[in-house]
Amino acid sequence: MKLKTENKMKRFKIEGSSNIAEIGYDYDNLTLEIQFLNGKVYQYWPISPSGYDSFLKAKSKGGFFAQHIKNNKGINYKKLDDLQTHI
C-alpha cells in the first residue's frame, strides 16, 4: 500500500471537537488524515471504509480516535508538515 506523501487529501472541519480540527479520507489508500487543533497533521493507515464510517458517526471524535486509532499496533502513522486548513 502506498502512503500519500503529498497533502492533497480533501479534509472537512469537525465542529465541537476539543482535539480534532479536520479529517479526510483516501479510499484508494485506506488512509485517514487528521489535523488537530494544534495544527499538527497526521495520516493513519490502514483504516477500513467501515472504520472511517464509524469514526464519522462517533459522538466524540477525539474519544473514538483515542480508543480505536491512537496507539493501535495495527495502524501505521506519519506526521506531515504543519499545514494550513484546506477548506
The per-residue pLDDT for 49 is 97
Report CA-CA distances (Å) from 33 to 24, 73: 5, 17
Q: Give yes or no for residue 1 having a pLDDT over 80.
A: no
The per-residue pLDDT for 81 is 72
Q: What is the mean pLDDT of residues 53-81?
A: 94
List own/partner pairs for 8-17 with CB under 8 A and 24 or more apart. 9/33, 10/86, 11/35, 11/85, 11/86, 11/87, 12/87, 13/85, 13/87, 14/61, 17/60, 17/61, 17/62
pLDDT tier for residue 85 given thresholds of 50, 70 and 90: very low
- Tens of pLDDT, residue by residue over 6-64, are 556 899 999 999 999 999 999 999 999 999 999 999 999 999 999 999 999 999 999 99
